[in-house]
Structure 1
Amino acid sequence: MRKRKFSVPFMALLFMVLTAGAQEVVYEEYDLDNGLHVILHQDNTAPVVTTSVMYHVGGKDRTEGRTGFAHLFEHLLFEGTKNIERGKWFEIVSSNGGRNNANTSQDRTYYYEVFPSNNLKLGLWMESERMLHPIINQEGIDTQQEVVKEEKRLRYDNSPYGQLLPVLGENLFKVHPYKDPNIGYMEDLDAATLEDVIAYNKKYYVPNNAVLVVAGDIDVAETKKLISDYFGPIPRGADIQRSYPKEEPITEEIKATAYDPNIQIPAVMVAYRTPGFAERDAYVLDMISTYLSDGKSSKLYKKIVDDQKQALQVGAFNIGQEDYGMYLVFALPVGETPLEVLTAEMEEEVALVRTELISEKDYQKLQNKFENRFVNSNASVEGIAGTLATSYMLYGDTDLINKEIDIFRSITREEIREVAAKYLKPNQRVVIDYLPKDKTDN
């Protein structure tokens, strides 16, 4: 029997249709009277449930001289509550077959637990305790300050290239809080009073500044009743007014130098200030970074690492943030290759994206990569919970979990060229030489 051959465009279209149907996430959302936004996703295929709360507070939410509070609170709100003994949080979770964690960015803080579904009530109770009854005292603050300091020493001060992101922030931003590291400055945390910390909790960790997501093996009616019981009585906080300083555009190339005593091989960073991640242009920049450096067949890697053997590593990253993004192109040289040579080689590839259309073949490869990412992005209930919370709180559109792939599908080769020409110009960049420094130097 004669085999039927399918064209590449037909197969791509078929793949799009199949993934669109297979990946749809069904959810229900509503608000409690106190302003808490609730999102429920029922998936009874496995007996697990994720309970999570995202607060719209991150490193940028601070005053001068009081940086790092959101990251401190990531740790502090595990200390204990009115009904959870100090130091017992993780023990309660693990002894009931669960696991939990939290993380903080410049824009939000996220707490979550994953339990067997018969412990849904426990997960909701614990998160309501965190919101309503946290115990904040000097003992807990002192303990968690030391935890944060140790984390800073481990991840930033004593880790090779650990200062890359702080260096990027301080050079791309002059007035916006993104200029300061998310973890904050230790002298600010040391100077914080108990009154400062209590006031921060009262302002930001309130139901009207949060979204609760419950995803997994749940009964929706029962879950709504539990949420009403545990979270309904929590009082609404005052409305939060945010007004961050605006950055002036970068119109001339800025050169900077930074030193890292933990490295032997220097790096060169070429950075651009870009729009916040909810803007359409930010999606296009995601595609450009994938085109330039995702995988060994990408343009930058193949040219500078494989063919010309000038770099050990090279990469391009669109670092998304709510108010402004940071677009980074960086390289580590081979041997005595000058950093300015790497800068010129990277600019040559970026310039091609600014001035020429990428090939149809490369464009289709990009589309396939983003289709695959979409298929894998919501492969677990835990992942779905995080995406639902992020889509609602930071993008203002919960259904982005289902339709974000359509944004990438709609991006054209012409748009890729236009966005590169808009944001990735030499006169809009900061070039940073990131150099080794002898630990004995002053």
Structure 2
Amino acid sequence: MKKSLFSLAALLLAGFTATAQEVKYEEFDLDNGLHVILHQDNSAPVVTVGVMYDVGGKDLGGTPETGLRTGFAHFFEHLLFEGTQNIDRGEWFKIVASNGGSNNANTSLDRTYYYEVFPSNNLELGLWMESERMLHPVIDQVGVDTQNEVVKEEKRLRYDNAPYRQFLFAISENLFKVHPYKNKNIGEMSDLDNSTLEEFQDYFKKWYTPNNAVLVIAGDIDVTEAKRLSKVYFEEIPEGTIPVRNFPKEQPITETIKDTFYDANIQIPGIMAGYRTPGFAERDSYILNMISTYLSDGKSSKLYKKLVDEKKLALQTGALNVPQKDGGIYILFGLPLGEVSLETLLAEMDEEVVKLQTELISEKDFQKLQNKFENQFVNSNSSVEGIAVSLATNYMLYDNIDLINSEIDIYRTATREDIQAVAKKYLNPNQRVVLDYLPKKDEN
């Protein structure tokens, strides 16, 4: 009887969640090709204005003649806060703060996103500022030099001098040999140092056009007025020619690639195994999210419980799915305890993957997975700020805005058999990079 009641409660909860979490939105295009998405939520007097550009770390600067430059998209994430023809240098953040707002930006290998959160009576200010960024940025040598130093300091702080923070770079450059995913999103400092002002200006003209962007306005808005204001501030911005990407295709990995990386910031070695996976819009990528959660989400997960708690072989272990548009990365990782060898640790992690490939996970573990993704879905739509970035991302990268409402159905319809099949398809020893991540010895 208890089981029946639990099943009924779970069913009712799932139905309630699907209804309660529905996000309504409107969308339209301006004459210059800018796509606009509006979401009205009058529960709190705040509004988010966000602009996502279809440009990321995979889109290199420079030219074949001058040399292709990494890190340009991330550099512009900083540079486009320098100021505009109507916003003096150093005034951007002051304007936002003095009007009760906050703002930020972030860059992945696939896209760049800028946003402001304001009290809703400052919607027009947010739209003006983002239109200024798109139409009138000041890209001069002073700004380039200033932000070059900022990016260098960020690289030193977050990567060069931080333990284990370069493992993704080391995995990526082995998994991808020709696709620009092999490059660091933050870029090589020599590339930025050797770039000319003209190269930065050309990069902006190439990628930062209205027809290569999506504008999202979410929160306490009047829809009719938001439509009017979006046209006032953005419709006169000239459209550009959207670049055509033609990235080379990677050859399949057919045998284990072994490599070693040395990190001067660590004392304990690590072992990592990286696999190429499908683009994040494919269903298999969602199943890989479930696999990584099953293996390593929390202290009750399979890898942690086995290797850290029970066998005392590892200080830390886990699995990570890194979704990307043109092809993702799946990583197993572990830090050995005491005298445990890296080979032993990898073999133990492999054993859990083989179980996934040969046995169905238990019904109890599967229900636990479903519950976690249900909760994750609810949380992702719990704030206006989160809804805004989801709407922009789903339009720009997935070509399906309604994923904000329907993405959970992919997880709800997944089966234990799907998990087994995807593990068999992608997580095999002959399809991976095995990386020994070792302390760098003092050369003196």
Q: Same fold (TM over 0.5)?
A: yes
Residue 60 of structure 2 aligns with an amino acid whose one-letter code is R
Q: Which amino acid aligns with 1:239?
A: I
Task: Encode CA deviations 1:279-328: one digit per residue, 9 max, x unaligned.
Answer: 11000100011111111111111100100010011110110011010000
- Report the more deviating stretch, 56-65 or 261-270: 56-65
1:270 correspondence with 2:299: no
CA distance in 1: counterparts of 2:230 and 2:42, whole angstroms: 19
The yes-or-no answer on 1:378 pairing with 2:381 is: yes
TM-score norm. by structure 1 comes to 0.98
| CA distance in 1 between partners of 2:250 and 2:8 (Å) | 46
Look up the match of 1:294: 297
Corresponding residue to 1:241 among 236, 244, 248: 244
Is 2:85 the counterpart of 1:82?
A: yes
CA distance in 1, matches of 2:242, 2:151: 29
Kindly report structure 1 stretches of 4+ aligned residues shifted beyond 4 Å: 3-6
Counterpart CA distance in 2 for 1:351 and 1:178 is 28
Once the two structures are superposed, the pairs formed by residues 330-349 of structure 1 within 5 Å of their partners are 330-349=333-352
Query: For residues 313 and 283 of structure 1, what CA distance do their matches in structure 2 show?
Result: 24
Partner residue of 1:102?
105
The match for 1:255 is 258
Aligned to 2:37: 39
What do residues 99-136 of structure 1 show as CA deviations (whole Å, max 9, x unaligned)?
00000000000000000000000000000000000000
**What is the aligned partner in structure 2 of residue 24 from structure 1?**
22
Alignment of 1:288-327 (within 5 A): 288-327=291-330
Which of 150, 160, 165 pairs up with 1:157? 160
Give the corresponding residue for 2:8: 10
- Pick aligned residue for 1:91 from 89, 94, 110: 94
User: Which stretch has the larger CA shift, 162-171 or 247-256?
Assistant: 162-171
- Corresponding residue number in structure 1 for 2:53: 55
Give the AA of the match of 2:55: V
Name the amino acid aligned to 1:244.
F
1:133 to 128, 131, 136: 136
Deviation string 1:356-393 (CA, Å, 9 cap, x unpaired) is 11111111111111111111111110000010000110
Give CA deviations for 1:35-61 in whole Å, capped at 9, x if unaligned.
Answer: 100000000000000000000100000
Unaligned segments of structure 2, at least 5 residues: 62-66
Deviation (angstroms), 1:186: 0.6
In the alignment, the residues of structure 2 paired with residue 402 and residue 252 of structure 1 have an alpha-carbon distance, to the nearest angstrom, of 40
What are the ranges of 5 or more consecutive residues in structure 1 without an aligned counterpart? none
Whole-Å separation in 2 of the counterparts to 1:105 and 1:123:
23
Counterpart amino acid of residue 223 in structure 1: A
Structure 1 residue 240: Cα displacement: 1.7
Query: Which residue identity lines up with residue 171 of structure 1 in the other structure?
Result: N
Determine the structure 2 residue equivalent to 1:116.
119
Q: Which amino acid aligns with 2:283?
A: R
Amino acid at match of 2:169: P
Aligned-residue offset at 1:4: 8.3
Deviations for 1:3-35, whole angstroms, at most 9, x for unmatched residues? 987433222211110100110000001111101
Q: Which residue of 1 aligns with 2:70?
A: 67
Match of 1:182 in 2: 185
The farther-off stretch of 329-338 and 4-13 is 4-13
Identify the residue that residue 394 of structure 2 maps to in structure 1. Answer: 391
Q: Partners of 1:267 and 1:120 in 2: how far apart? A: 49
SS in 1 for 2:68: coil
Residue 352 of structure 2 is aligned to residue 354 of structure 1 = no
Q: 3-state SS of the aligned residue for 1:250?
A: coil
Distance in 2 between residues matched to 1:249 and 1:18, nearest whole Å: 44
- Counterpart in the other structure of 1:441: 443
**2: distance between equivalents of 1:11 and 1:288?**
26
Number of residue-to-residue matches in the alignment: 439
Distance 1:407 1:186 in 2: 41
Deviations along 1:189-210, whole A, 9 cap, x unmatched?
A: 0111011001000010000110
Q: Which residue of 2 aligns with 1:366?
A: 369
| 2:275–2:427 CA contact under 8 A, matched in 1 | yes
Superposed CA offset, 1:255-285 (max 9, x none): 1100000011111101101011001100010
Partner of 1:405: 408
Rounded Cα–Cα distance in structure 2 between residues aligned with 1:202 and 1:248: 33
Q: Structure 1 vs Structure 2: percent identity of aligned residues?
A: 70
Work out the CA distance in 2 between the residues paired with 1:228 and 1:188.
38
Q: Check conservation: 2:104, 2:115, Cα contact below 8 A.
A: yes
User: Contact 2:175 / 2:276 at 8 angstroms: preserved in 1?
Assistant: yes
Counterparts of 2:262 and 2:50 in 1: how far apart (Å)? 39
